[in-house]
Amino acid sequence: MPETIAISGASGHIGGRVARLLAPSGARLRLLGRNVDHIAPIDGATTAAIDFADPTTVAAALDGVQTFFFVSATESADRADQQIAVVRAAKDAGVQRIVYLSFVGAAPDSTFTFGRDHWYTEQAIRASGLAFTFLRDNQYQDIIPHFADENGVIEGPAGDGKVAAVTRGDVADCAAAVLDSTEHHGKTFDVTGPRAFDLATATADMTEILGRPYRYVDQTVDQAYASRAKYNAPKWEVDGWVSTYTAIAQGDLDQVTDAVQHLTGHPATDFRDHLETLTDKS
């Protein structure tokens, strides 16, 4: 009997694409999300509601599952604790392998504060004794245009640091390749785009290709916090926003790897090529 693969975040860009890619493989797919009505149907796949804040829903959703593609929860003050509980519930449910979507440079002292949650989750998975593969993605190319305000300005303390951003599509392709294989147990892959670029270059590319003016304005850390105070967001969230840029400035995100080519057989998408796809959709 083919194994059952559960995919969390199945209504999202990555989880949904992974599900579509695996559909022809013959695996039994269980598509997970907080609201199953938002999950696009796939022939032969089942759905289950899951809330990472409630481990009982995790145990029920993963009952009978052999492999769990674990797309991390939405950022929150207690995300690490939530995800550690998810790992325990997955093991108790009988899951044998976890493929976890982590982040480049995950560590307890990551400059990018949200990356710390990923490190604690990775440690919980290692301690569980389950088979695992970690896909540590870089920042998403898809999100960079959304850093800009209504005037096309990206402001942040990234300096002239570079980011080897990757598309969500390439990350999903890597995940599907790992899930459809037994060759990558115990491995960690840093998943990046084909080049690293600074935000001044990114905004120049956006201006040229998207057909409207964009520019990058470097800030000090103090300026970054002050400019975001208007959102009245909790400190942990603002720390994450600001450290998105300081991680770039520190050089934490500039390493380029061949993981996309290695895992999928196709080259990683360049940022300029990604931008061209946005013009195709307009």
For residue range 72-98, what is the model confidence (pLDDT) as tens digits? 878 888 899 999 999 999 999 999 999
pLDDT tens by residue, 239-265: 999 999 999 999 999 999 999 999 999
Q: Does residue 281 register a pLDDT over 70?
A: no
Per-residue pLDDT band at 1 (split at 50, 70, 90)? low
Q: State residue 122's pLDDT score.
A: 98
Mean pLDDT, residues 161-177: 98
Mean pLDDT, residues 108-121: 96
Q: Does residue 182 register a pLDDT over 60?
A: yes
Question: With contact defined as beta carbons under 8 Å apart, do 60 and 75 qualify?
Answer: no
pLDDT tens by residue, 36-48: 999 999 999 999 9
For residue 62, tell me if it sits in a domain: yes
Mean pLDDT, residues 121-146: 98
For residue 130, tell me if it sits in a domain: yes
Percent of the chain with pLDDT over 90: 91
Q: What is the domain extent for residue 120?
A: 4-137+168-190+255-268
Number of domains in the chain: 1
For residue 231, tell me if it sits in a domain: no
For residue 152, tell me if it sits in a domain: no
Mean pLDDT of the chain: 95
For residue 12, tell me if it sits in a domain: yes
In this structure, what CATH number is given to the domain that contains residue 186?
3.40.50.720
For residue 82, tell me if it sits in a domain: yes
Q: State residue 280's pLDDT score.
A: 65
For residue 41, tell me if it sits in a domain: yes
For residue 119, tell me if it sits in a domain: yes
pLDDT tens by residue, 189-224: 999 999 999 999 999 999 999 999 999 999 999 999
Q: State residue 2's pLDDT score.
A: 78
